[in-house]
Structure 1
Amino acid sequence: MPQLNPAPWFAILMFSWLVFLTIIPTKVLNHVYPNGPTPLNMDKHKAQPWYWPWQ
């Protein structure tokens, strides 16, 4: 029964985790968005008190 031989499957598992942990995160972290977020107005918003009509 070849399924019980862990040698090739363990190597495939380790290689796939090596790819997932080294190559893919660097590609994701190096991704640059074409349009950056636009900053909103930096003025503080003055909060108005809100009175409940039934109190």
Structure 2
Amino acid sequence: MPQLIPSPWFLIMLLTWTVILTTMLLKTSLYEPTNNTPPKPKQAQHNSWDWPW
């Protein structure tokens, strides 16, 4: 019954996926997005004016 004795590649694959998933989980859970957008410029104040005539 060869199904009861898996080849060592199954264990290697299982350990590899465990390491990859754990690494990705830690990277995504500890990720803090940075806000590098420059601040909005202040709008120049325009005084109202009338036509000269």
For this structure pair, what is the TM-score category when the shorter chain's length is used for normalisation? Answer: 0.3 to 0.5
- TM (normalized to structure 1)? 0.42
- TM (normalized to structure 2)? 0.43
Task: Indicate the structure (1 or 2) with the bigger Cα radius of gyration.
Answer: 2
